A and B are shown apart, each in its own frame.
Chain A
Amino acid sequence: MEYLKKYPKLFQWLFLLAVFFGLCFAIDVPETYKFIRGQAEFVKDPNQSVYFFLGKEVRYYAFDVFWRLPPLLGWLPIWINDSLFFLMNEWMPMEFWNEDTQEFKTRPLLLQISRNLTSFMTFLIELIREILLGGLETIVAFTSWDFIDAYPWLELPGLPWTIVAAGATILSFKLSGKGLALFAGLTMIYISVFGQWKPSMQTLSFILVAAPLSFIFGLGLGIAAYKSKRVEKALYPILLVMQTMPQYAVLVPALVLFGVGDHAAVIITMVVAVPPMILLTILGLRAIPPEVIEAGRMSGCTNWQLMVKVLIPTARRDILIGVNQVIMVCFSMAVISAFIGAKGLGFNLLLALNQLNIGLALEAGLCISLIAILLDKMSLAWANKQTDYFGNLTFFQRNKNIIFFAASVVIGIILAYVGTFIFKGSFNYLFEVPHNKGISTADFWNKGVDWIFDTFFVYIKAFNTWLIVDVLQPMRALYLRMPAVATLVLVVGAGYIIGGIRSALVVCGLTLFIALSPWWDRALVTFYMATFGVVVSCLIGFTVGTLCFQNKKSAAFMLGVCDIFQTFPSFVYLIPVMMLFGITDTSVLIAVIVYATIPATRYTIEGLRSVPIGLHEAATMSGVNKFQRLTKIEFPLAFPHMMLGLNQTIVFALFMVIIGAFIGTEDLGQYILKALSDKNGAGIGLTLGICVAFIGLIFDNLIRTWVGQRKKQLGID
């Protein structure tokens, strides 16, 4: 009784677990139940039950409701699909002026909007692409094909790679100094020499459109939400879902709305990249001390000046994290959107992975990662740049960068011209190293992979078999063995114990959505892979983080490593694991673990760092040794922060599990991938995406609620 009073929560948890396991044992597996493999689901079968809703037919295998709930939401994907179709093709037909045919034409409104948006995006991308690579579509856009036929010299010639490389180097030098300049130069030379110039520039032109647009929209909407409670309330649920929605899932509806190609990729990228930008903008603006705003007001700022000169710069830290996220997402999407026809490195990467040409994939992946890191560092340096008011500079000193750049343009052109004589008849390497004509180390890597495989095959295979047979399969079987009711009770009970009735209701709603969708079994599989990944990642991340924290230098180093790893597009992680483990669940899980360990490590270090120094000193003074200090002071205080890390770890893990579908898994991701090539896939893809997002949100809700209470108890915040 005494214990009951002392630890009421503990007993609630024990009771909950008892009920959960009780239900698990009490409800038997129905004899007819079996995990349905991918294709079988669409087969019509007389054993299936059928119901109609909103004129849609839903077929499913009925079980005891305690075991699996019937898919009462089965009509939703079909309905979404039909609605989308209706909106695009029939809704609100209007007269629109058509430039080409010079007459009015009737078109549905949405289709017209989509067309206009599409041509605008295409124009932007083409413009940048042609400046970098040459071409004539931009000129044509302003004039006509006849015009270009008459004046063929108007075609943009494209910049020789030497000029772009020099430009990037000079810009980096101006922004940050020697280190970055060196990095920029080497990156550009690497890209060129390895014959990745063209795809790289294609990717770059895509990013140079998507990233600034995402930044502007994110910042703008963030400011709007900061200023108006109503806007924020309207945006918030969308933002939450988008934060945990796997990027794959957005592809399918976008395909329907915008078709295939780079423009569609840009639009989707914006859809994915804008939400974190908005959230971080709001976060940063909210954190500004009110007195700073008042000081701005008292200085006589107009509203515009207040925003531009006081609020945004003061919130710079968080906004910069937003920019970093935008860039990260853009590169990630640069690869993923190759599925819907975006050109560039991503396409090459996917192709190489598909052909299991690890060497080529590695080169493309390295290129993407290098460009990503470069852009990230450049944007950071740009935001941190300071003006010097006191330097008495000569004209040359002030304009030296422009002068250098002008010089390098001239030299570049001369070199390219000279090149036409040197490389007569073959490719002009001083202008552009064509794809597949540069140095390639692909063979070397492929041989290396083969060697590793031949040499360590036995061990890898043994490890693989052990993991799959003795760990993963039993674990998966256990997850699938959970009756739906038991899972619901567990989740809702946890919600109630942690956050009271409100949390319980939210979590219950989210879980029910998944349980009533046709993909509960898949969701369980996704969930099992994510759990495995998260547990291992957390163990590694917390340990590594804690160890690194013991020393200032190693902590800073580790954070730097996390930064760099975070900039890699998620697909890149698949390369090395496929190199070692081939196409198996192990590969996916290891990619998940590596990817999800980043936030776990980072938040551990940052959490421990956030413990006030005064407390360290106070603790040391009261004679606590290092270990006691860690367990008694630092861990408890850093825990809320670390739990937010757990939150991120879960989201990262879920994303990677879904991407893992590319290697071949039997979870929600597999269906999303399938929906991509299904002409009626939009509804399915979106619903699946929402299911994954909801898995993330269940944990998000529980963790945040708990962290909030914990913070209150500790009196932080």
Chain B
Amino acid sequence: MSETVIKCESVFKIFGENAKKMLEEANGKVDAKTFQEKGCIVGVNNASFEVAKGEMLVVMGLSGSGKSTLLRCISRLTDATGGKIFIEGQDLLELNNKELIDLRRNKMGMVFQSFALLPHKTVVENIAFPLQVKGTSTEDSISRAMEMVKLVGLDGRENYFPRELSGGQQQRVGIARSLAVEPDIWFLDEPFSALDPLIRKEMQDEFLRLQEKLQKTIMFITHDFDEALKLADRIAIMKDGIIEQLDTPANIVLNPATEYVRKFTEEVPREKVLVIEDVMDAPSKDNLGDLKVSKDEIIENVAEKILTQEKNVEVIDSNNNVVGSIKPSKIIDTVFGGRKNGS
């Protein structure tokens, strides 16, 4: 296991007048309903997890489930009401103002759900802003910003004002701005939600490519399960401020921890989540065809091959050892009927 970059220990965020006192009285057992009756809104409820270096954690959940609030706590845009947060081993809540500013200038980048561009600055100026704040010279910051403009495909519009851009274009400016300082830790709050499907796919691919190269530690919020599956190393599912389950995509689909997660993942196309290994049987020589598939293949990618085979298929690992076999009917089960439970 590589080193931990973000670590949360029972983080709470409760909005309201005397939230702190009520949290103390509640003794770590926070019930959203009773708090609401007393005029407090629970944003994040007892969140504990770790994110490793280079890992991408995707946070999902219905509207108002506290995803943005969790991100705000970790970037310390709001102070958590209770609990501890560590960034690279440093206690975030202990940092003084100057250290916090240093951390943000050099380590953190954030893309906001509602873009949050500065209305009085043009596209380049917006992107160059974090650099200029740091004290980079105008010339350097503008030329770096121009690189970013090209990266997100906005060249030719660098002198536009945010109000002159479409939502998707504004979001791309936001992404470019957060990347300008080359942060190690990257927070993205629904960064692709305002983009059209074509550009979204393009950006996702670009995003993966970048990630391969840069190996940033990322927390990513999305409503789109397909997107989550495509990008995530692990997925966290939130409900009413509580992290219901945090696991790899396959485990979340195969072993939902709670009824809520099961419902949440019900409509997820299994073949996109599961790999062959998850559904294969023990090795057997019955009715074997000549096709061999790797155990790490995602089902969707090999389904067609297996189904046209009409014979059982051997499953091999990376060293070409046979580790199992699979019947075409199993694939059909998974894709069409497998809503009962995968394995």
Contacts and interface: CB of A to CB of B under 8 A. Distances in A.
Interface in A306-341: 309-310, 313-314, 316
A302 interface: yes
A305 interface: yes
Given A289-B114, A291-B112, A295-B112, A300 B130 contact: yes
Interface of A is mostly: helix
A381 to B, nearest CB: 15
Contact of B116 (A289, A309, A386): A289
A300 B112 contact: no
A224 B190 CA distance: 35
A298 interface: yes
Contacts of A289: 114, 116
B134 A294 contact: no
Interface in B102-124: 102, 104-106, 108-110, 112-122, 124
A421 interface: no
B75 interface: yes
B282 interface: no
Contact of B77 (A294, A300, A314, A386): A294
Nearest to A291: B116
A303 B98 CA distance: 10
Contacts of B114: 289, 291
Contacts of A291: 112-116
A299 interface: yes
B272 interface: no
A230 to B, nearest CB: 17
Given A300-B104, A389-B138, A295 B124 contact: no
B198 interface: no
Given A300-B130, A305-B133, A309-B133, A294 B72 contact: yes
B104 to A, nearest CB: 4
A410 interface: no
A704 to B, nearest CB: 26
B104 A314 contact: no
A46 to B, nearest CB: 63
Interface in B68-117: 72, 75, 77, 97, 101-102, 104-106, 108-110, 112-117
A302 B177 CA distance: 18
Contacts of A301: 101, 133
A294 B112 contact: yes
B77 A297 contact: yes
Interface residues of B, number: 35
B192 interface: no
Contacts of B12: none
Contacts of A305: 133
A292 B110 CA distance: 12
A300 B109 contact: no
A301 B117 CA distance: 15
B130 A299 contact: yes
A300 B101 contact: yes
B142 interface: yes
A292 B72 CA distance: 13
Nearest to B126: A295
B220 interface: no
Given A299-B129, A309-B133, A314 B142 contact: no
A300 B105 contact: yes
Instruction: Kindly name the residue among A297, A314, A316 whose own CB sees the greatest number of chain B CB atoms within 10 A.
Output: A297
B108 A298 contact: yes
B75 A298 contact: yes
A314 B118 contact: yes
B116 A297 contact: no
A299 B120 contact: no
Interface in A261-300: 289, 291-292, 294-300
Contact of A300 (B116, B124, B134, B159): B134
Nearest to A298: B110
B333 to A, nearest CB: 46
A292 B118 contact: yes
A305 B105 CA distance: 13
Contacts of A297: 77, 104
A621 B147 CA distance: 46
Nearest to A390: B159
A298 B78 CA distance: 12
A295 B133 contact: no
B103 to A, nearest CB: 8
Contacts of B72: 294
Contact of A292 (B97, B109, B116, B138): B116
A390 to B, nearest CB: 8
A308 to B, nearest CB: 11
A300 B133 contact: yes
B142 A389 contact: yes
A296 B178 CA distance: 11
Interface in B40-79: 72, 75, 77
A310 B129 CA distance: 10
A8 B130 CA distance: 57
A297 B72 CA distance: 11
Nearest to A312: B120
A310 B118 contact: yes
B117 A295 contact: yes
A370 B193 CA distance: 52
A299 B115 CA distance: 14
Nearest to B102: A300
Contacts of B178: 298
B84 to A, nearest CB: 21
Contacts of B159: 390
Contacts of A296: 118
B134 to A, nearest CB: 6
A500 B77 CA distance: 39
B124 to A, nearest CB: 7
Contacts of A313: 118, 120-121
Contacts of B108: 298
Given A300-B104, A300-B105, A300-B133, A295 B116 contact: yes
Contact of B119 (A294, A314, A389): A314
Given A298-B75, A298-B108, A316 B134 contact: no
A294 B178 CA distance: 12
Interface in B133-164: 133-134, 138, 142, 159
Given A305-B133, A309-B133, A389-B124, A298 B118 contact: no
B120 A298 contact: no
A294 B116 contact: yes
B165 to A, nearest CB: 15
B133 A299 contact: yes
Nearest to B122: A386
Contacts of B102: 300
A313 B138 CA distance: 19
A443 to B, nearest CB: 51
Interface string A126-138: 0000000000000
Nearest to B114: A291
A292 to B, nearest CB: 5
Contacts of B104: 297-300
Instruction: Kindly name the residue among A289, A294, A314, A389 whose own CB sees the greatest number of chain B CB atoms within 10 A.
Output: A389
Contacts of B122: 386
B66 to A, nearest CB: 16
Interface of A: 289, 291-292, 294-303, 305, 309-310, 313-314, 316, 386, 389-390
Given A291-B115, A298-B75, A309-B129, 10 more contacts: A294-B77, A296-B118, A299-B129, A299-B130, A299-B177, A300-B104, A302-B97, A310-B118, A316-B120, A390-B159
Interface of B: 72, 75, 77, 97, 101-102, 104-106, 108-110, 112-122, 124, 129-130, 133-134, 138, 142, 159, 174, 177-178, 181
20 contacts: A289-B116, A291-B115, A291-B116, A292-B116, A294-B110, A295-B112, A295-B177, A298-B75, A298-B178, A299-B104, A300-B102, A300-B106, A300-B133, A301-B133, A309-B133, A310-B118, A314-B120, A389-B124, A389-B138, A390-B159
**8 tightest A-B CB contacts, nearest first:** A300-B105, A291-B116, A299-B130, A295-B116, A300-B104, A313-B120, A298-B110, A294-B77
